[in-house]
Amino acid sequence: MRQREWNLVTDQTPEINYNQPGDTDLPNDQTESHASATSATAVDKNAYDETQIQVLEGLEAVRKRPGMYIGSTDFRGLHHCVYEIVDNAIDEALAGYCTDINVFLRKDGSCEVRDNGRGFPVGIHPKLGRPAVEVCLTVLHAGGKFGGEGYKVSGGLHGVGASVVNALSRRMKVTVYQDGNVYQQEYARGKVLYDLKVIGTTDRTGTTVQFWPDARGEDNPDGVFETGDFQFNILKARLREMAFLNKGVRITLTDERVEPAIERVYHYEGGIIEFVRYLNKNKEVLFPDPIYMEGVIKGTTVEVALQYNDTYQENIYTFANNIHTPEGGTHLTGFSSALTRSINEYGRQFGFLKASDTNLKSEDVRESLAAVISVKLVEPQFEGQTKSKLGNSEVRGIVDGLVYDRLSTFLGENPATARIILERCVGAARAREAARKARELTRRKTVLESASLPGKLADCTERDPEKCEIFLVEGDSAGGSAKTGRDRFFQAILPLRGKILNVEKVRIDRALSNNEIKAMITAFGCGYGDEFNIEKLRYHRIVCMTDADVDGAHIRILMLTFFYRYMRPLIEKGYVYIAMPPLYKVTKAKKEYYVYDDNELEKLLQEIGRDPKPEIQRYKGLGEMSSEQLWQTTMNPETRTMMQVSVEDAMAADEIMSLLMGDKVEPRKEFIEENAKLVTDLDI
């Protein structure tokens, strides 16, 4: 099966290669022992003795296993290197010494990061006898973030950031502006090229780090990264986020690889208040200004901004020391608890909740909420190496106490806004109860009751989810061809009539009244929303198979919107695919060829010749194919092409979903006008 990837944010992303290259550039003191180990292995491949034990010195370990330090060697790891250098500058800003950070994407493939902080220390390290800047860039676990004096607050305490980037760079150059002098040193794959030297004088302070990632290519087969091509859009999203989280800091991103150069400046004096406004920019807000809370308790700084909008999804982002924590943690738990408690107490006090009413639940008060929670603490503890969840137990009580006090005060002083919030939350509770009743209609009593399912599901006989796939097919006509042509052992077919409901504009209780949505939920067997359980999913490939026309594309987007809003783990786990039926059938000399786009067609015609003229048939819909053709071109795992749907940036995905599927017309019109020239296959 040829597999392509379809991304909600970037449209196309490269495949991930988990095979990590080794480092053939060993230090001199390691070459001999390495050679002896190799010769011993040649004598006896099964031997396991002292010669098999290798000790990786310095930055060797990073080049041997880069994925352990930056996650992967694809485009994600490449951009992580930029973030590591920027984080050093941000740490200077948090310490109160840096106001401007400039990131340049140079024409020679390098990335340069400048700041106006204090600069890397250049004095001789008392233990190692080398300049401190050299130690920071060439020794793992060396930095000013361990003793508590250099930096009170920083993103990470591992001390591996800059040195790892150095190890994975074909070349790195550091320039330090300090004490009236300009210092410079260069490295190649983590090894010092020359001693730190003074190259001039200056009246400024700060650091400039320029690095050339060690990307693989014909001239560099032993490179680390699959690509060295920095993506402007990926970097701008992260840098914009950093500017929001550190109010007053000016971050500039300049791409010099294009003519004219593109420059974006991110500078937000309002901090996370403007962050929330940005999250709601394509939505109607229920009150004009976000609610902002700030305080320092026991050395921990807490910032919270929130605002309700007219959608029916929560949109909460949490950060600890500027690090995004997508799985939440103790700061999110404290926030949710305080939010629920303060709103319930206000509702009881002023009659929004009667004595007979049950308390609002956490999901009720979070519906339609956009919020940013940012904490900065001295010693953050994250669960797992990915730092996706904050684990500091004391933070829960700190955030809970601050949010409860400040929000309760705000609600008491702003009765008009409080009324809007309470009415929204009470409405969400009623919808939740209605959805609970509707949910019962979507639950399967057993996995064998396929005959009673709505939507005319033709189930497969296999019961192992890893082997099963379900095709969501547009209309009964295509559904009939798919049912006839499928392999009924592992392929299920679910025909959908017409367009499903746009869930971006309605609550889930209304969505559950749509027969097609109910059919999908029932067929999948894993629930939805807060009750979603990936373990109960019956198919590990969910394939959207619609016609290659405007209506088919619209139906596909409606399905993806539903998956993203209420079954997001399906996309995050890589279970959602888009079928790619051929666009053309070419017949010549009794041979048939299927091609998937105009470029493939042109290439095929060059290969088989245009004389005599071949017969070319353009498919507009699946109904034009016989069951045999549909199987051979679109459903057969041996010959089909499929696109896997993924989400690289949840914030950007949420933004584009709201923009394209929401109620606001003007932003959608602007988006279409800006991107109209990018359309390459217009169906008219």
Q: Which residues are marked as active site?
A: 474, 547, 549, 551
Tell me: cis bond preceding 612? Omega within 30 of 0 counts.
yes
Return the ∠ at Cα 15 (arms to 14 and 21), rounded to 5°.
105
Residue type, 322: N
CA–CA separation, 375 vs 320, rounded Å?
5
Beta-carbon contacts of 648 under 8 Å, excluding residues fewer than 6 positions away, are 7, 9, 10, 13, 76, 234
User: What is the C-alpha to C-alpha distance for residues 625 and 539, in angstroms, rounded to an integer?
Assistant: 25
Cβ neighbours of residue 489 under 8 Å, at least 6 residues apart?
460, 461, 462
Distance (Å, whole) CA 144 – CA 121: 10
SS (HEC) of 506-571: CCHHHHCCCHHHHHHHHHHCCCCHHHCCHHHCCCCEEEEECCCCHHHHHHHHHHHHHHHHHCHHHH
Phi-psi region of 248 (alpha: psi -120 to 50; beta: other; left: phi over 0): left
Amino acid at 667: P
Q: How far is CA 342 from CA 273, 346, 361, 510, in A?
A: 21, 6, 12, 29
Helix (H, G, I), strand (E, B) or coil at 615: strand
Decide: residue 383, CB within 10 A, 0-12 exposed, 13-18 middle, 19+ buried: middle
Q: For residue 226, how far is the Cα from the chain centroid?
A: 19
Neighbours of 285 (CB within 10 A): 17
- Nearest by Cα to 337 from 397, 400, 406: 400
- How does DSSP classify residue 279? H
Give me the DSSP letters along 309-367. BSSSS-EEEEEETTEE-TT-BHHHHHHHHHHHHHHHHHHHHTTSS-TTSPPPPHHHHHT
Q: Are 388 and 331 in contact (CB under 8 A)?
A: no
Amino acid at the residue 500: I
State residue 540 phi and psi, 5-degree precision: -95, 5
Torsion of CA 155, 160, 165, 168, to 10 degrees: -150
For 298, other C-beta atoms within 10 Å of its C-beta total 10
Buried b (16+ CB within 10 A) or exposed e, 1-17: eeeebbbbbbeebeeee
Report how far residue 4's alpha carbon sits from residue 609's, in angstroms, rounded to the nearest whole number: 28
CB contact set of 194 (below 8 Å; sequence gap of 6+): 185, 186
Q: Is 157 helix (H, G, I), strand (E, B) or coil?
A: coil
What lies within 8 Å, CB to CB, of 325 at 6+ separation is 318, 319, 331, 332, 382, 387, 388, 389, 390
Task: Identify the CA nearest to 659 among candidates 281, 260, 229, 138.
Answer: 281
The Cα–Cα gap between 350 and 353 comes to: 8
Burial of 510 (C-beta count, 10 Å sphere; 0-12/13-18/19+):
middle
Q: Give the Cα separation of 124 and 44 in Å (integer).
A: 47
